[in-house]
Amino acid sequence: MIICKSAAEIEKLRRSGQLVRELLEEVSGRVKPGCSTLELETYVEKRVRQLGVKPAFKGYRGYPRCLCASVNEEIVHGIPSGRVLKEGDIVSLDLGVIVDGFYGDSALTVPVGAISPSLQRLLRVTEESLQMGIEQVRLGRRLGDISAAIQRHAEQAGYSVVREFVGHGIGRDLHEEPQVPNFGKAGHGPVLKEGMVLAIEPMINTGGPGVRVLEDRWTAVTADGGYSSHFEHMVAVTRNGPDVLTDWSPPKGGSL
């Protein structure tokens, strides 16, 4: 069953969504050559504690950290470790929090120092694919319209779309119905209704779509060693079109 949220519930989701985005901006600013992914985790954990909110991923199905940090060929669920970032790498940062019982979940991929033009293009196309998906979040459209828009943009650019991991509904649970695949057919799937809140999260590879999970049982990498990029926003269906709950603007005189 797809849960439709009230206006008040959407405002609660916006609070957690904006907070998660603010933390992602902060931690992105600390991504530098020579910094380890564990240092990013330590920073996020400290901030989450300071703000008095709960990390959503730590303990979820046994996941050991607050943050997912996935480097280069890692797609998602990279466990922060001593791995040191180097100039020219890309790192996908995925974070979830719970504020007042409501989940926030967002991700982005950032360059480490200067990156190659081809990696810049991968990041740009992945973010554009997410935007194309968001554009479809309108009353009366179908879930497949979102999936197809994302897939078309990524594949037209010569990339491939990961099948094993998908977006999801979000609310009082991290993963609610429906699943939101990043591939599919326009005009298919459930009709979008007012109050649905979707976490849309394309994972786009430079090579093939295949996935392998490492020995740690979490880190998902590309089967062929190609690079992968990941962006995620939470979007509510409203009569006025898509409402991005994880939209972030710099704090106007004062922090959270």
Which residues of the chain form contacts with ligand MF3 (CB under 6 A)? 57, 60-61, 63, 68, 77, 94, 105, 107, 168, 199, 201, 232
Q: Give the Cα separation of 106 and 44 in Å (integer).
A: 14
Closest contact distance (angstroms) between CB of 51 and ligand MF3 is: 19
Pairing state of beta strands 220-222 and 74-76?
antiparallel
Closest contact distance (angstroms) between CB of 116 and ligand MF3 is: 26
The torsion angles phi and psi of 175, rounded to 5 degrees, stand at -120, 105
Structure tokens at 60: 């979820």
Which residue's CB atom is positioned nearest to ligand MF3? 63
Residues 116-155 that bind Co ion (CB under 5 A): none
Applying CB under 5 A, the span of 2-10, 13-21, 67-75, 191-199 interacting with Co ion comes to 191-199
Coil, helix or strand at residue 25: helix
Helix residue ranges per DSSP H, 113-242? 117-135, 143-156
Closest contact distance (angstroms) between CB of 230 and Co ion is: 10
Which partner in ligand MF3, Co ion, none is near 12 (CB below 5 to 8 A by kind)?
A: none
Q: Exposed, middle or buried, 192 (CB in 10 Å: 0-12/13-18/19+)?
A: buried
Q: By CB under 5 A, is residue 176 in contact with Co ion?
A: no
One-letter amino acid of 107: A
CB closer to ligand MF3, 179 vs 186 = 179
Which partner in ligand MF3, Co ion, none is near 60 (CB below 5 to 8 A by kind)?
A: ligand MF3
Q: Give the Cα separation of 225 and 220 in Å (integer).
A: 11
Max Cα separation, the chain? 48
Residues 87-116 that bind Co ion (CB under 5 A): 105
Q: CB of 221 within 8 A of CB of 164?
A: no
Question: Rg of the Cα trace of the chain?
Answer: 17
Closest contact distance (angstroms) between CB of 104 and Co ion is: 10
Closest contact distance (angstroms) between CB of 63 and ligand MF3 is: 3
Which partner in Co ion, ligand MF3, none is near 248 (CB below 5 to 8 A by kind)?
A: none
Closest contact distance (angstroms) between CB of 61 and ligand MF3 is: 6
**Chain residues in the site for Co ion (CB under 5 A):** 105, 199
